[in-house]
Structure formats: structure tokens, C-alpha cells
């Protein structure tokens, strides 16, 4: 191998300090040129999603308004309208489709940003163009992250409007009108959460691409990391953002997020559901014999309360929706900044 054909290591930021640095605005054009196909794909995805939710939302809100305005609520005609509302676009009620937005952006836009440069070897050329590894990395990541975050923030406004009827209160005639705003699968689609999760997914993908250095394995790694983070947050972390409230009331609103329920004896000791079932069977089996031999829950609750047992319910009230949104959005933003900074540091430290 001759001197001319040898692959020289990219110049460090210090070595490039003697060269007049390229202006940041040129990096905007370079980023667009390199990632215009991926950004066009994101725009198409979000555009189709926005169009679909706009058309479906107009119809859903119309059906909801007709069901709410129907009088008398107990009539057969009103029951038909309520049933029509409950069955309108029911496949969208769990939020699975918009949940895919952060995942796809993180895997197919975030992961290849750095990984493709390493895999193809083009970073050797990019880092010698008077911009520096750190500035090159930060420029690309910050520009792309800001773009997708702003776009999904706009989409979250539309998604929140669409799901509005599901969380409307004071309309017990509609079975879905008392859903909790903390409903799994929908909480992180509303407020600031969708944009925050998209930013985090992108940052996770970028870091995975830097560590793995190959596009396809980086995509797989980012999917696994994001899935683990989302599962852990929804299952274990979110309920502890604020200290849950505890009550012995039975008439909690349907919008409350019930975390746990526990029966206590007169002495204040926990008692299992099996032991409670035996107490009910021994006390007055005929009184609680419901359809198929299943105890009538309300009568059973009243019987246990009269005999000194207490049911404690741990819950989060619906009024904490926005505090939870800002808490989750805040720590996701901090995590994303940390991941992007770590990615830039790794790129600066890694040799060619």
C-alpha cells in the first residue's frame, strides 16, 4: 500500500481548528441532501396519519354528539346511537396505529444516521471537510431531531382531538366516556408525550447506530431498546410520578387510574381474595348467589363492610393528567439530550 492509497484517520477537531470552519447553514443543506428520502418517508407517514385521523375524527365527533343529544337516554333509539358510537372505528380505540410513529422514526431515521456513515466508510470523507466530527454529528442529529419532534407535536394535537370523546366526563350513558386519561396506549399519544417519545426514539436509534456501526443490526437494537424503555415506563415507572392517593370509597369516577385494591381485616391486616370468598360462602351463600354461582359484587362489598372489613383503593386521579405529561416529557427530553451528547462524544472519540 502506497502513501497515496493509505486510509488516513480523519483529522481531529483540534487539527481542523486551523482551517476556517464551514458555516452551520451549509450543514442544513447537507443533512437534507443525505436524508431527504427518509424525511420524505416520515412526511408521507405523518401526512397519511393526519388525513386518516381528520376524516375519521369528523365522523366520530358527529356520532358522539348525536348520542349525547339523544333523549330520553333510556330509549331504544338512544341505545342504538350509543352502540353506533362504541363501534365507530373501534380498531383505533387502543391507539396501536399512532403508537408505531415513534418506533418507525427511531428505527428507520435515527438508527441509520451514523450507522450508514460507518458502514459505507463515507465518514472518512465527511470528517475532512472543515466541519469537524463533533459539529458534524451534532448538526445532523439536532436538525433531524428538531424536525421530527415538531412534526409529531403537531400530530399529537390532532390525535388528542380525535380521542376527545373517549375521555369526556359526565356522560355515563356512553360506555367509553369514562375512560381514564392514563389509559395504556393512549396516554403517550396525547399532550407532550408523543413528541417526547419520538425524540427519545430518534436519540436511541442514533446511539445504537454509533455503537453497532451497521444499519440493519442498529435498527434491530433500537427497536429492542425502545420497546424495553416504553414497557418499563408504562408498567413500572409512570404510576410513581406522584404519590398515589388511597381511599376506602367505592364510588370512584371511571376516569381514575386504579393501581391497586386491597381488603383489610378489622385489625388492619391484608386478607386474600380466597379468604374473602370463603367468608362470603360461609356467611350467607344464598344472599350473594349471582348468575352461575358468582357472588354479586355490590352485595358482597356491603356485607364485608358491615362486618368490619375495609377495601383500600390506591389510585391516581384524572386531574393529574397534565402533571404526569410534563413529568414524563421532562425526563424524556433530558434522556434524549444525554443520548445525543453521548453519541457526539463517541463519534469524536472513535478512531477511523
Q: What pTM does this model have?
A: 0.84
Q: Is 181 helix (H, G, I), strand (E, B) or coil?
A: coil
Residues of the chain with pLDDT under 70: 1-25, 126-131, 169-178, 283-299, 351-352
Note if the bond before 213 is cis, omega within 30 degrees.
Answer: no
Verify that 83 and 203 share a domain, yes or no.
yes
Contact 167, 181 (CB under 8 A): yes
Q: How high is the pLDDT of residue 285?
A: 55
Asked whether residue 67 falls in the same domain as residue 101, the answer is yes
Residue 12 counted as domain residue: no
Give the count of beta carbons closer than 10 Å to the beta carbon of residue 88.
18
Looking at the domain assignment, is residue 15 inside a domain? no
Residues 173 and 313 in one domain: no
Does 222 share its domain with 182?
yes
Give Cβ neighbours of residue 121 (< 8 Å, ≥ 6 apart).
Answer: none
β-bridge partners, 261: 313
Q: What is the pLDDT of residue 56?
A: 94
Cell numbers representing residue 210 in the block: 454509533
For residues 179 and 287, state if they share a domain: no
Please check whether residue 264 is in contact with residue 312, taking contact to mean a CB–CB distance below 8 angstroms: yes
C-alpha closest to that of 252 among 301, 187, 323, 322: 301
What pLDDT score was predicted for residue 68? 86
* Axis crossing angle, helix 96-105 with helix 193-212, rounded to the nearest 10: 40
Asked if residue 231 and residue 119 are part of one domain, the reply reads yes
Do 170 and 288 have their domain in common?
no
Q: By residue range, what is the domain housing residue 54?
A: 46-244+319-349
In a shared domain, residues 281 and 309: yes
Give yes or no: residues 296 and 332 share one domain.
Answer: no
User: Rounded to whole angstroms, how far apart are CA atoms 254 and 266?
Assistant: 28
pLDDT attached to residue 126: 67
Query: pLDDT at position 4, please?
Result: 44
Cβ contact 311:247 at 8 Å: no
**Can you read off the three cell numbers belonging to residue 302?**
356491603
Kindly give, in sequence order, each residue whose CB lies less than 8 Å from that of residue 69, ignoring residues fewer than 6 positions away. none
Same domain, 240 and 252: no
CA distance 256 to 274: 26
The structural domain count of the chain equals 2
Phi, psi angles (nearest 5°) of residue 36: -65, -35
The x, y and z cell numbers of residue 67, run together, are 348520542
Q: Examine the domain organization and report whether 226 and 272 are in the same domain.
A: no
19: in domain: no
Does any domain span residue 27?
A: no
User: What are the residue ranges of helices labelled H in the chain?
Assistant: 24-69, 76-87, 96-105, 111-120, 123-126, 133-162, 193-212, 215-232, 273-283, 297-306, 321-349
User: CA angle 284-287-291, nearest 5°?
Assistant: 125
> Cell numbers of 13, please?
477537531
Amino acid at each position: 500500500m502506497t502513501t497515496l492509497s493509505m486510509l488516513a484517520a480523519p483529522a481531529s477537531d483540534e487539527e481542523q481548528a486551523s482551517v476556517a470552519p464551514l458555516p452551520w447553514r451549509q450543514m442544513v443543506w447537507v443533512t437534507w441532501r443525505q436524508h431527504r428520502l427518509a424525511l420524505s418517508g416520515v412526511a408521507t407517514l405523518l401526512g397519511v396519519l393526519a388525513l386518516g385521523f381528520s376524516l375519521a375524527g369528523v365522523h366520530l365527533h358527529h356520532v358522539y354528539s348525536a348520542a349525547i343529544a339523544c333523549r330520553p337516554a333510556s330509549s331504544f333509539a338512544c341505545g342504538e346511537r350509543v352502540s353506533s358510537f362504541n363501534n365507530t372505528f373501534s380498531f383505533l380505540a387502543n391507539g396501536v396505529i399512532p403508537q408505531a410513529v415513534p418506533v418507525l422514526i427511531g428505527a428507520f431515521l435515527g438508527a441509520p444516521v451514523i450507522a450508514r456513515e460507518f458502514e459505507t466508510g463515507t465518514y472518512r470523507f465527511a470528517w475532512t471537510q472543515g466541519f469537524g466530527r463533533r459539529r458534524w454529528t451534532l448538526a445532523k442529529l439536532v436538525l433531524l431531531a428538531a424536525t421530527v419532534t415538531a412534526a409529531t407535536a403537531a400530530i399529537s394535537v390532532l390525535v388528542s382531538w380525535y380521542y376527545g370523546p373517549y375521555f369526556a366526563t359526565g356522560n355515563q350513558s356512553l360506555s367509553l366516556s369514562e375512560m381514564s386519561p392514563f389509559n395504556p396506549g393512549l396516554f403517550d399519544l396525547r399532550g407532550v408525550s408523543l413528541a417526547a417519545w419520538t425524540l427519545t426514539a430518534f436519540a436511541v436509534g442514533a446511539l445504537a447506530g454509533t455503537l453497532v456501526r451497521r444499519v440493519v443490526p442498529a435498527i434491530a437494537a433500537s427497536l429492542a431498546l425502545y420497546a424495553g424503555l416504553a414497557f418499563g415506563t408504562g408498567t413500572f415507572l409512570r404510576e410513581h410520578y406522584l404519590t398515589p392517593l388511597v381511599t376506602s370509597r367505592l364510588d370512584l369516577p371511571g376516569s381514575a387510574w386504579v393501581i391497586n385494591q386491597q381488603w383489610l381485616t378489622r385489625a388492619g391486616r391484608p386478607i386474600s381474595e380466597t379468604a374473602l370468598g370463603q367468608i362470603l360462602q360461609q356467611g350467607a351463600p344464598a344472599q350473594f348467589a349471582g348468575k352461575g354461582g358468582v357472588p354479586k359484587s355490590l352485595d358482597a362489598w356491603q356485607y364485608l363492610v358491615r362486618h368490619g372489613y375495609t377495601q383500600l383503593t390506591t389510585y391516581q386521579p384524572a386531574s393529574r393528567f397534565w402533571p404526569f405529561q410534563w413529568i414524563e416529557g421532562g425526563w424524556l427530553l433530558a434522556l434524549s439530550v444525554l443520548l445525543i451528547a453521548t453519541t457526539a462524544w463517541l463519534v469524536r472519540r472513535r478512531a477511523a
